[in-house]
Structures are given as C-alpha cells and as structure tokens.
A and B are shown apart, each in its own frame.
Chain A
Amino acid sequence: MAQLSFPSFSNRLLLGSAAVVAAAGGWVLFTYPPATTPFYPQCAFRMLTGLDCPGCGTTRALHHLLHGRIEEAFFLNPLLFVILLVALCAAPSVMRGERPGFLSKPWFGWGSFAMVAGWWVVRNL
C-alpha cells in the first residue's frame, strides 16, 4: 500500500527552499523569453564548438512549456519530453518510497546512452 512518511524538519526545509527557488525560476522563465534575453547562462559546449549539446534548447523549451505551447517546446528539445516520460513512469514507485526497478535493468542503462548520444549526433547533422 502507498505509505508516505511525513518528511523530517531538515527535509521539509530543503523541499520548501527547492519550491521557492523553482517558483522564482519559473517566474523569470515565464516572463523573459530566453531566445531574446541575454542574461540566461549559455551552454559552454555550444559557445566553444558552435554545435548543440543534448540539453541545448531546454531553457527555451521550458519557456514555451510554461506558456502551454507544447509543440514549440517539443521541437526545441524532444529529449526533455523523453526524460519527463521516464520520470512519469518512475513516479508511482517513488511515491511508494521505493526505487523504480527499471533503473537497475541493463536495457535502461544502454537505452539512456543510446538516446542521449544518438540525439547529440542526430541534432548536429
């Protein structure tokens, strides 16, 4: 059965701080579009090589996502949606306080590698 234990004080403090940071970051991301605002951190790999890294476009994708524009977000970084899907699959086990079993499966490890490395190559072709 689902059994959620009440988090300890330090964990509540950590969760609270994370929520505040996430809310502040979300507001900044919602208000200022990353494509035209210069203050967002830039990807070092992209600056050095001119190529996209597997995570490039995530900031812009999250901006679109916060505005509900799923299609634009998807084409900026589809891998973000794959990761969100995996997180969704893991959620039931995590809610029960267990470690999702698929994380320890060989196919998951090599699948992660294939997805990230493959996307890195494909997006730069």
Chain B
Amino acid sequence: MNCPHCGTSNFDNASICANCGRALHAAPPPPPPTNTYMPPPPSSPGAGYGSAAGYGAPVPGARVPNYLIFAVFVTFCCCMPLGIVAIIFGAQVNSKLAVGDYAGATEASRKAKLFCWIAVALGLGGFIIAMVINGAALIPLILESAATR
C-alpha cells in the first residue's frame, strides 16, 4: 500500500511508513472493495460474555437468558428444592431486565443456570439411588417367584 502522507510504497501489513515514519492508517482507510463486508455489530449477543471486560458492562439490548423453562422442567422432573431456587433467579432476570438492570440480570441468569445444573445432578443422583433401593427390594420377590415356578 502507499503511504497517505508521502506516497511511498509500503508492505501491505506495515503499520508505519518506511519513508516518513507516520502511521499508515491514520488517514481515512480506503473503502472496502465490496459492499458485502459488514463490520461486526457492537451489540452482538455473547460478545464478551463471561469475560471480565464484558461482564461489568453488559450491552443493553442483548438478550439475557432466564432459564425459566429449564428451571420449571427441573423442578417438575427432579423433585429438588434447588429447582425452585433456579425459578426465583430466572424470575429475577425478567424483573431486572424490565427496569434496565443488565448487570443484575446477567448475574441472576448465571445463578439460574448454575442452580438448574446442580438440581439436574442431584435429581439424577437421587433417581439412581432410588432405583437401586427399589431394585434391591425387588430381588427377594423375583427369587421367590422363580423358586415357586
């Protein structure tokens, strides 16, 4: 590329001019070659999600998941009190979004997700323990019916 200040030809990836030493991109850059190029939107959801920079200042307008369906499903199927906690945090996401508290909503969303998965783990563990106890209670019955046959 040519330096916008002195016109000297430089390497394409150079940031300063080899002749005059001034920044090659200080001047307005040439228009992109095609119209199909779109700069990344500043408010893309998930941009900086979980990162320290994006966490403190969530982008207004970005959707914050509330995990409410997941939480109700977990409470309904895993029978665990933690599912109720997840529903409370999910409800908080909606309330905080409604008043524009994006940082609070993101935090509540994170907690709702966390408690959903803890509830799933505890629920599955409970099911397995219950199945084992149930199965153990069935063994004498099965043996008895096999012996009398």
Q: Which of B48-99 contact A (CB under 8 A)?
A: 63, 66, 68-69, 71-72, 75-77, 79-81, 83-84, 87-88, 90-95, 97-98
Minimal beta-carbon separation of A76 from chain B (angstroms): 13
Q: Does A113 contact B (CB under 8 A)?
A: yes
Contact partner of B94 among A38, A105, A120, CB < 8 A? A105
When distances are taken between beta carbons in the complex, the residues of chain B under 8 Å from A48 are 126
A106 adjacent to B84 (CB under 8 Å): no
Contact partner of B66 (CB less than 8 A), chosen from A38, A53, A54, A103, is: A103
The answer on a CB contact under 8 Å between B66 and A104 is yes
A54 touches B76 (CB 8 A): yes
Given contacts A38-B134, A44-B126, contact A109 B93 (CB under 8 A): yes
Q: A112 and B79: CB pair below 8 A? A: no
Q: Which single member of B68, B83, B133 contacts A109 (CB below 8 Å)?
A: B68
Q: How many A residues face the partner with a CB closer than 8 A?
A: 28
The docked-state distance in angstroms from the alpha carbon of A43 to that of B126 is: 8
A45 and B76 form a contact (CB under 8 A): no
Which single member of A55, A79, A104 contacts B97 (CB below 8 Å)? A104
Q: How far is the CA of A83 from the CA of B71 in the complex (A)?
A: 13
> A46 at the A/B interface (Cβ < 8 Å)?
yes
In the complex, are the beta carbons of A113 and B88 less than 8 A apart?
A: yes
A 20-58 to B, binary, CB cutoff 8 A, 1 in contact else 0? 000000000000000000100111111110000111101
CB-defined contacts of B77 to chain A, threshold 8 Å:
55, 58
In chain A, residues 53-107, which have Cβ atoms closer than 8 Å to a Cβ of chain B? 53-56, 58, 79, 83, 103-106
In the complex, the answer to whether B79 meets A45 with C-beta atoms within 8 Å is yes
Known pairs A44-B127, A106-B95; A113 contacts B84 (CB<8 A) = yes
Q: Is there an interface contact between B84 and A103, defined as CB atoms closer than 8 Å?
A: no
Q: Which residues of B contact A56 (CB under 8 A)?
A: 79
How many Å lie between the Cα of A96 and that of B60 in the bound state? 25
Nearest-neighbor residue (CB-CB) of A40 within chain B: B134
In the complex, what residue of chain B is closest to A52 when comparing beta carbons?
B79
How far is A116 from B72 in the complex, measured between Cα atoms in Å? 8
Check A106–B94 contact: CB distance below 8 A.
yes
Across the A-B interface, give the 7 residue pairs with the lowest CB-CB distance, nearest first: A44-B126, A109-B91, A53-B79, A45-B79, A55-B76, A109-B94, A106-B95
**Which residues of A does B touch, CB under 8 Å?**
38, 41-48, 53-56, 58, 79, 83, 103-106, 108-110, 112-113, 116-117, 120
